[in-house]
Chains A and B, each alone.
Chain A
Amino acid sequence: MKPAPFEYKAPATTDEAVDLLAEHGWDAKLLAGGQSLVPAMNFRLAQPAVLLDLNRIDELAYIRTVDSAEETGSTGSNVAEGDGGGGAVGLRIGAMTRQAALERSAAIAAHSPLLAAALPYIGHPQIRNRGTIGGSIAHADPAAELPAIVVALDAELTIRNSEGERRVAAAEFFQGLFSTALGPNDLLIEVDIPALPAGTGWSFQEVARRHGDYALVGVAATVRLAGDVCEAARMVFLSVGGGPVIASNAEASLVGQPLDERRIGEAARLAASEDIDPVNDIHASVAYRRHLAEVLARRALHEAGARARSGAGA
């Protein structure tokens, strides 16, 4: 018996969970897949008084496709004009959807290949059988793949509490080491991933000491090309800061320029030297992480550019 005692409650509906959160607030901890929380409880690093188990809430496990053109609720839609007719499809994913379910989903493979590419890097199959998309995002481990992916894809996160619902852009959700926009009474219920604009290529790159280990460095990139010119670029790193790190200097250096060898090299150097803030730990030094970041950024931009040119992206 490793964890400290706690009171266990397993709500069956989202409403019930939200009511229980309103009642217990900071005393309660939400249990999603438990692949990070339960180890912390086994070590007694986490000793919640009340454990609210979300695993009985079937209504929070789903993958739905939505026609992006019809989407009215979302703010700041980045769907390019003239995209209609092509059937740009966005995704709405319930927070308790298992990573293994995402991995098996034909809809994810078809409509969010960047997310699909990152999933096999999360832990091991046994971990992904339990781990959820919402749990990973809410936990906000800086070495985790899903926070970087949702930022790279401009996802919106739906949060509910007893007062109502609100939507937060993924880029604003992550606020530093293991901290997020979630307050003590908030429940993350849905992840909305908009369709990538036409002409967008993507790439996910990661280096870990062994397959399934935490990333030493990882990067998710998208580039949108018109002809050879880069119209938009997104590069989000993991494991090199307090959360997902947007390489804004590198992105800005690419926009409006031809996506050629020289610019890719320059953007990768900028990302590794200016945009990220890695730390020394037992797994890698700052210098090695910067080196990896530059190499992975270059690979990611090459691959994303090639996909944008071949139409194999969005």
Chain B
Amino acid sequence: MHQRLTVNLVVNGETYERDVEPRILLSDFLRHDLGLTGTHVGCEHGVCGACTVLVEGEAVRSCLMFAVQVDGRQVTTVEGLAPNAEELHPLQEAFWESHGLQCGFCTPGILLSMVPFLESNPDPSEKEIREALSGNLCRCTGYQNIVDAVQRAAAGQAAGGATPEAADVADEPSRRDGGDEATAGEVPA
């Protein structure tokens, strides 16, 4: 019989208590024990960034932590971003507007990486955005629309919470082409 430990934690404002084996990764704990499948699991060795969540407000790879390590801590996953079932988080809204996703697999990790980034750096340059995104792999978009989405979110933030549509990012100089509207993806459940 392997050791089991009790984990008490707060995820997206809700308190959970579970008994787990210490070898359970935080990523698997969120998905299988708590049913929060918005956190995606890609490479499972810290390269792809798909499993990024916030622990005490800081972006971390949940495949490189054990669930027992977050005992007593606060965790935020992609399910915790939107204020309610009708509205999106402004960053999610910006990804929608800029077509910052296609298949959506990498999106939760990217959103969770960009939330603390935009908090600490509200007016980032394109270079800073690309650097901040460097730990998240996307195989669909070529990143351009993701960079646009983050710029749109930053502009919306600067406009004092104005809707991202109102943000003036229409003539984004970094844009390589006129956009590929045909590939607009759906927001994954």
Where the two chains meet, the residues of A that have a C-beta atom closer than 8 Å to any C-beta of B are: 1-8, 10, 34-35, 38-39, 41-43, 51, 53, 55, 100, 123-127, 129-130, 210-212
Contact = CB atoms under 8 A, between A and B. Distances in A.
Contact of B134 (A55, A129, A211): A211
A210 B133 CA distance: 12
Given A2-B25, A38-B66, A126-B49, 8 more contacts: A1-B21, A35-B64, A38-B65, A42-B25, A42-B63, A100-B58, A124-B49, A130-B64
B23 A43 contact: no
B28 interface: yes
Nearest to B25: A2
A225 to B, nearest CB: 33
B69 to A, nearest CB: 6
B65 A130 contact: yes
Given A1-B24, A39-B46, A43-B45, A126 B135 contact: yes
9 contacts: A7-B22, A38-B46, A38-B65, A42-B25, A53-B68, A100-B58, A124-B134, A126-B59, A129-B58
Contacts of B23: 1-6, 41
A7 B3 contact: yes
B99 to A, nearest CB: 24
A100 B5 CA distance: 29
Nearest to A124: B135
Contacts of A4: 23
Interface string B105-148: 00000000100010000000000000110110000000000000
B61 interface: yes
A5 B21 contact: yes
Contacts of B44: 2, 42
Contacts of A43: 45
B135 A8 contact: no
A51 B68 CA distance: 12
Interface size class of B (residues with CB under 8 A): 20 to 34
A130 B162 CA distance: 34
Contacts of A210: 134
A127 B135 contact: yes
Contacts of B3: 5, 7-8
Contacts of B25: 1-3, 38, 42
Contacts of B24: 1
A146 to B, nearest CB: 17
A130 B25 CA distance: 15
Contacts of A39: 45-46, 64
B43 to A, nearest CB: 9
Main secondary structure of the interface of A (DSSP, over half): loop
A126 B28 contact: no
A211 B131 contact: yes
A123 B132 CA distance: 11
Contacts of A212: 134-135
A192 to B, nearest CB: 27
B52 A126 contact: yes
A1 B25 CA distance: 7
B2 interface: yes
A126 B65 CA distance: 12
Contacts of B2: 5
Contact of B5 (A8, A42, A123): A8
A123 B68 contact: no
Contacts of A8: 3, 5, 22, 66, 68
A33 B113 CA distance: 18
Given A1-B21, A8-B3, A35 B46 contact: yes
Given A8-B3, A34-B64, A129 B45 contact: no
Nearest to A56: B69
Given A39-B45, A55-B69, A130-B60, A125 B22 contact: no
A149 B117 CA distance: 27
Contacts of B28: 1
Contact of B61 (A55, A100, A130): A130
A123 B2 CA distance: 34
Contacts of B21: 1, 5
A278 to B, nearest CB: 24
B44 to A, nearest CB: 5
Contacts of B60: 126, 129-130
Nearest to B58: A129
B45 A34 contact: no
